[in-house]
Amino acid sequence: MRIEIVFKTPTASIPINYQYQLCSFIYKRLRHVDRNFGSFLHEKGYKGFKLFTFSQLFFEKSAVRFGSLLLWPARGRWYISSVSEEFIMNFFSSLIQVPQIEIEGTFFPIEQINLLREPNFEGYAEFFVLSPLVVSIPVDRNGKIYHKYLMPGDEEFESTLVKNLVKKYEAFYGEKLDPQLSIEPDWDYIRKRERITKLIDIRGIKIKGTVFPFKARGDSRLIKIGYEAGFGERNSLGFGMVAPLISETPVKKLFDSGTQ
């Protein structure tokens, strides 16, 4: 399940890297409605997976200046998604009770909250990303484990991405699943851009994600878990959220223009 939030933007300046603040805002709101569920998700989750994700914020009027994101009076959109209906209903309820988003003391009044209809995946889907997709493998360097970030075309990119989806499915539903899924990046899109990577700073840790459309073929259950919980890693920090490529939402136009 997922929701779309339409909000007003004031004249303000917020951090460019606001993902951690949004993640904290989500947990705060969940605890406000159901302390037990909010604490369970934050401290344990489903075998370590939080199984929710969210998009970047899409502003109608904004600009990057002097290391900050400047905003002017207009509107914005934000998308939140989860496998868990309880998560969506609790978060939805919290926004009805207190209809505003907060980032470091800046408040964004909420105008509208939409519960979005679930697509029907029948073994195939085409997606674009609403937040950078992160795929990595652990690498041992002199006894220390580091994350090696993978790009589309890297040997282990697809297999690592699919294994991650299988683990999420098994964590939530409690049943084994064969990794029957292929991921095909849109190479045309990738070739036309100077770069598809985005480096996001989360409390001093640099995380490298990629932005590109792709096709997913295979088990509909894996496609659905990716759509609901996010593709790749660090979904609960705002990475790996996707939307169907056929979507005609306002944010699709931003993706097509390359201004995402």
Return the SS3 of 221.
helix
Nearest to 77 by CA among 205, 254, 213: 254
State how far the Cα of 112 lies from the Cα of 56, in Å rounded to an integer.
17
Return the SS3 of 144.
strand
Q: Which of 27, 32, 147, 189 is catalytic?
A: 27
Q: Give Cα separations from 48 to 10, 12, 77, 89 (angstroms).
A: 37, 36, 29, 21
Q: Which of 20, 32, 42, 189 is catalytic?
A: 42
Nearest to 132 by CA among 236, 49, 22, 208: 208
How many of the other CB atoms lie within 10 Å of CB of 23?
Answer: 19
State how far the Cα of 151 lies from the Cα of 215, in Å rounded to an integer.
16
42 in catalytic set: yes
Place of tokens 């989860």: 82
32 in catalytic set: no
The residues annotated with a catalytic role in the active site are 27, 42
